[in-house]
Amino acid sequence: MATEFDDGEHWGFFLTGQKLTSETGKYVRMSSLVLAALRSAGVFSTMEDGTAAPATDKLWLDKNTDPPTLKEWDATGASWVPLTYGRLFGRAAIDKLTVTGGTENAVVTSAPSGFQASRLYLITPIATNTAATTIQVSGVGTFGVKYGSGADIDAGEFTAARQAVLYFTGTRFEVVFPVGDLNAAVTEAQGYASAASGSATAANTFAGAAAQSAAEAEQAAVGELVTRSANYTAVAGDINTHIRFTGAYTLALTAAATLGANWKCFVQADGGDVVIDPNGSETINGSSTLTVPNGTYVILWCNGTTFYAAGIANGSLTNAKLANMAQGTVKGRASGAGTGSPTDLSASELFTIISSLVTPKPQTTSGVGQVVAWATPTSGGYSAPSSGSWLVIWSGYVASNATWAAGINATIVAGGAVVQGGQSGVVFTGISWRIA
């Protein structure tokens, strides 16, 4: 660490008022000053400081030491531990649990470096379980393997040499992609096979309707496309305009009162980050400016006094942002329903669309029907296994902030084809099912 930030030798200085006196001049440890600034900026909004520990869902700046130590509650060890770099930035990575022994229902693994709660772990069992199962992490403890509901896993959930993705809560491991759920959904769908004629045509109709809906929605939301290659000031006449910037420029805004209530436009950054700068002291989303990252867009609204912007940045759409769904359903548009909003499709409605493409029942052995669970390293891509045709369902999450990257994806590819290219800082995980 550079000496100017070495807490053992240096202090920071700041004023609590506008005039320097013996009361307003304060000396503070550099780390305390930096952490206070981060809390003020909302980065460490849950941090509390003092000599007594706060609630376990908070960060604690422990002032029982000099300099103070930033800590978090470790549910595994049931104690407050220093918040290290690895604990802060390593949460979203998938770590490996290496099986070292045990039995089919009492697995023993080594403890990966930095083992902690709220992380994903990848395990390759060496035997098929026959009943409720536990995992003993050497040197840490023994934890049950459960479904998200808290129920014990079924026999056969763990299969020799088949990878499984687990989420560690601090008290148990939870299976992320239960095989039983997938089998049940497919079995139900196959019950409607007799009504699946013409599914390929239905699928094309579904895709065309979805594309038409998207085009109509975009046309209704924005009007004329105007390309800008310099800084620009939006005026009242830009209402409903699609403003596309080709580089890193600033979009200044005319006073909100002049633009008026319900003024809006579509702002696209296509070549560099675009800064939206309201007039004078006016704000956008409560801030003095808003940056639209390159490759993204926002829809900008004015209510006559201030501005608001909404958009979806790359990798920012999480599962929590989607509408709640009934279990056993997927988002889509039923065959024959015509153009319209997405609905929650039942297994029979989904099978009407895809039955000619997906017919084999999942199985653990190689050949048609084989199911493979997989996860990439951070920033890595994924290709389908060799031979045959594969239905691949996957999602990704951003390793730096532990948020899901962009919903759930599905595609059908030939064996060996590239399914997902690597994205910086993103971990992809999913299931590949051989259908032909």
Q: Quote the pLDDT of residue 1.
A: 43
pLDDT (tens digit per residue) in 370-411: 899 999 999 999 999 998 899 999 999 888 887 887 678 899
pTM metric for this prediction: 0.33
Integer Cα distance of 75 and 119 in angstroms: 12
Out of 51, 83, 115, a domain closes at 83
Whether 293 is in a domain gets the answer yes
**For 287, left (φ over 0), alpha (ψ -120 to 50), or beta?**
beta
- Do 114 and 172 share a domain, yes or no? yes
Residue 215 predicted with pLDDT over 60: no
**For 367, left (φ over 0), alpha (ψ -120 to 50), or beta?**
left
Integer Cα distance of 57 and 72 in angstroms: 8
Sequence-ordered alpha helix ranges (H) in 41-171: 85-89
Integer Cα distance of 27 and 14 in angstroms: 7
Taking CA atoms, 307 is separated from 28, 74, 172, 183, 299, in Å, by 38, 42, 46, 49, 11
Whether 338 is in a domain gets the answer yes
- Do 34 and 158 share a domain, yes or no? no
Whether 88 is in a domain gets the answer no
Out of 176, 191, 208, a domain closes at 176
Taking CA atoms, 163 is separated from 151, 175, 414, in Å, by 20, 11, 22
Read off the DSSP letter of residue 384.
Answer: P
- Give the mean pLDDT of the chain: 83
Whether 395 is in a domain gets the answer yes
- Do 336 and 372 share a domain, yes or no? no
Give the end-to-end CA distance of the chain in Å, rounded to a whole number: 57
- Do 435 and 322 share a domain, yes or no? no
Q: Quote the pLDDT of residue 231.
A: 97
- Do 22 and 58 share a domain, yes or no? yes
Residue 365 predicted with pLDDT over 80: yes
- Do 298 and 372 share a domain, yes or no? no
pLDDT (tens digit per residue) in 15-58: 777 787 877 777 677 677 777 777 778 777 888 988 999 998 88
- Do 212 and 324 share a domain, yes or no? yes
pLDDT (tens digit per residue) in 322-355: 778 888 888 888 888 888 878 888 877 876 776 5
- Residue 219: pLDDT band (50, 70, 90) is very low
- Residue 112: pLDDT band (50, 70, 90) is confident
- Reduced to 3 states, what is the DSSP secondary structure of residue 12? strand
Whether 103 is in a domain gets the answer yes
Whether 89 is in a domain gets the answer no
Instruction: Give the dihedral of Cα atoms 31, 33, 39, 41; nearest 10 deg.
Output: -120
Give the count of domains, the chain: 5
- Do 17 and 140 share a domain, yes or no? no
Integer Cα distance of 67 and 51 in angstroms: 12
Residue 200 predicted with pLDDT over 60: no
More confident residue, 435 or 196: 435
| Cis peptide leading into residue 67 (ω within 30°) | yes
- Do 256 and 285 share a domain, yes or no? yes
Can you name the residues that pair with 62 across neighbouring β-strands?
50, 69
129 and 106 Cβ atoms separated by less than 8 Å: no
Whether 339 is in a domain gets the answer yes
Helix (H), strand (E) at residue 31: helix 30-40
Out of 35, 62, 83, a domain closes at 83
Give the DSSP letter string of 36-51: HHHHHTTTTTTEEEES
What are the φ and ψ backbone dihedral angles of 348, each rounded to 5 degrees?
Answer: -65, -40
Which residue range(s) make up the domain with 200? Answer: 182-221+318-358
Percent of the chain with pLDDT strictly greater than 90? 43
Helix (H), strand (E) at residue 211: helix 199-221
- Do 13 and 36 share a domain, yes or no? yes
